[in-house]
Amino acid sequence: MSLQTISYMGCIELRFFTVFDIVKNKADQLGHTEEEMFANLKKERINKKEILAYQESGIIPTDEKVLNGILSYLEMSKVELELTLGRIPTGFEDVFLNNTKEIAKILEDRKGDKEGFQNVIPEIQPYYSSDLGKLYNGDCLELFKQVPDESVDTVFADPPFNLDKEYDEGVTDKNTFSGYLDWYYNWIDECIRVLKPGGALFIYNIPKWNTYLSEYLNGRMNFRNWITVDMKFGLPIQNRLYPANYSLLYYVKGDKPKTFNVQRVPLQTCPHCGREIKDYGGYKNKMNPKGVTLSDVWSDIYPVRHSSSKNRKFNELSVKLLDRVISMSTNEGDVVLDPFGGSGTTFAVSELLGRKWIGFELGNCEIIKDRVENKDRDKKLFEKVYEEKNKLFPDKVKELRKKNGLWTDDDFRSDKENEEKEKANKLKEKNFDQISLSLK
């Protein structure tokens, strides 16, 4: 990805989310290098460490010395700084509320001018097509233009996390704080546009970025869940808690989802003896034999690291994760879109589930094509997923429990069947008595 700027009539427009990025933009306008920028800030009694503290944070300095030095370098007031960050300045909320018509007119006139400069969208041919899907090679912001409004049932996105990780040639994972979020919001707007009413949006990222995205989405879509995917993804960080989860945001377009299929998982048990981790006491006989209803904490998704399961050397999502997302939010024949194809897990799972799909990938598309055309590995992974899916106890666990004298759902199923038969017989007898009485 690159810093997302929009050129319009000679102006450069960019949403800013940190004070540091505004300062850096000012330095660029003045023709200062980064070292010259730090030197000029030092004249304002701000050292390098103090300004870098605002590189990865959206807060405005509370230290008067630092704030005044920054404002002096920027040649702006605190009110202007807050406006540049896209915020209503503190203490001026009533001014905005009392002048909404005037502000709206300015914005609408500006929008009308922009629309006059829009170009005709050229048709782009897919890199690869199957009976169910199409894969396009290129920048997602350009490729989204190929997708009609309200034509997609589910969007799943696993974007780069801006952690400077290695990806395919042509794909970078290093951006400024503001550049990353500005780029993020641009393609999110496209996701919302292409979703059908009731369509689902799933965004997979580290919690840091999804906090910003959640705030942005709350005014545009209906929040369903913040799903915690319990998985360690790095080494411990000094003076911080060990990062051990990814977040999966789940939003829908409109009041309610057009499709929601309940997902069930096995009861958690000890791998050695098969005993359940949580004691369900007298409720054992009331448990659904298809498993426990899925919660918003997923602790059964594991990183894809073994070469037998991986399709590339870079990060890859598990088949189980995508099966769960797609099965939950779509039905056979529905359309799934993934703007960051990666290794192609979304498309492989869509093929196996009979869903239509649209895929974008800026990097290597050949590995995705090979994966979709050669499904044997994914079929085996799929079989493993379905050995546990919609079962209270997978077969191996059930055998272990029986061996150790522990209950299984089979113990209660026969009792339920007998109860239902007894009820049916009583109903037949009652109907027979009523017929007999009527004949008399």
Average pLDDT, the chain: 85
Domains (ranges, CATH) in the chain?
Answer: 6-87 (1.10.260), 128-259+296-374 (3.40.50.150)
pLDDT for position 277: 87
Q: Round to whole Å and give the CA distance between 206 and 233.
A: 9
pLDDT in tens, 298-342: 988 887 655 555 454 456 899 999 999 999 999 999 999 999 999
pLDDT for position 376: 92
pLDDT in tens, 280-299: 766 777 889 999 999 999 98
Q: Round to whole Å and give the CA distance between 7 and 20.
A: 22
pLDDT for position 167: 58
| pLDDT band, very low/low/confident/very high, at 396 (cuts 50, 70, 90) | very high
Percent of the chain having pLDDT more than 70?
Answer: 82
Question: What SS3 string covers 370-383?
Answer: HHHHCCHHHHHHHH
Phi, psi for residue 21 in degrees, rounded to 5: -65, -30
Q: Please determine, for residue 421, whether its predicted confidence score (pLDDT) is greater than 60.
A: no
Please indicate whether residue 157 or residue 238 has the higher confidence score (pLDDT). Answer: 157
Q: Are 200 and 154 in contact (CB under 8 A)?
A: yes
pLDDT for position 6: 34
pLDDT for position 129: 97
pLDDT in tens, 342-371: 999 999 999 999 999 999 999 999 999 999
pLDDT for position 11: 39
The bridge status of strand 133-137 relative to strand 152-157 is unpaired
Q: Are 159 and 191 in contact (CB under 8 A)?
A: no
Mean pLDDT throughout 51-73?
92
Q: Please determine, for residue 114, whether its predicted confidence score (pLDDT) is greater than 80.
A: no
Among 105-109, 357-361, 412-416, 417-421, name the most confident range.
357-361
Please indicate whether residue 375 or residue 436 has the higher confidence score (pLDDT). Answer: 375
Sign of dihedral through CA atoms 370, 203, 333, 300? positive
Its pTM stands at 0.80
Question: What SS3 string covers the chain?
Answer: CCCCCEEECCEEECCCCCHHHHHHHHHHHHCCCHHHHHHHHHHCCCCHHHHHCCCCCCCCCCCHHHHHHHHHHHCCCHHHHHHHCCCCCCCCHHHHHHCHHHHHHHHHHHHHHHHCCCCCCCCCCCCEECCCEEEEECCHHHHHHHCCCCCEEEEEECCCCCCCCCCCCCCCCCCCHHHHHHHHHHHHHHHHHHEEEEEEEEEEECHHHHHHHHHHHCCCCEEEEEEEEECCCCCCCCCCCCCCEEEEEEEECCCCCCCCCCCEECCCECCCCCCECCCCHHHHHHCCCCCEECCCEECCCCCCCCCCCCCCCCCCCCHHHHHHHHHHHCCCCCEEEECCCCCCHHHHHHHHHCCEEEEEECCCCHHHHHHHHCCHHHHHHHHHHHHHCCCCCCHHHHHHHHHCCCCCHHHHHHHHHHHHHHHHHHHHHHHHHHHHHHHC
Query: How many other CB atoms are found less than 10 A from the CB of residue 41?
Result: 21
pLDDT in tens, 262-278: 999 999 999 999 998 88
| pLDDT band, very low/low/confident/very high, at 434 (cuts 50, 70, 90) | low
Q: Please determine, for residue 381, whether its predicted confidence score (pLDDT) is greater than 50.
A: yes
Q: Round to whole Å and give the CA distance between 225 and 252.
A: 10
Q: Round to whole Å and give the CA distance between 217 and 192.
A: 9
pLDDT for position 66: 94
Q: Which amino acid is at 24?
A: K
pLDDT for position 426: 61
Provide the β-strand partners of residue 227.
Answer: 248
pLDDT in tens, 15-50: 888 999 999 999 999 999 999 999 999 999 999 999
Please indicate whether residue 240 or residue 172 has the higher confidence score (pLDDT). Answer: 240
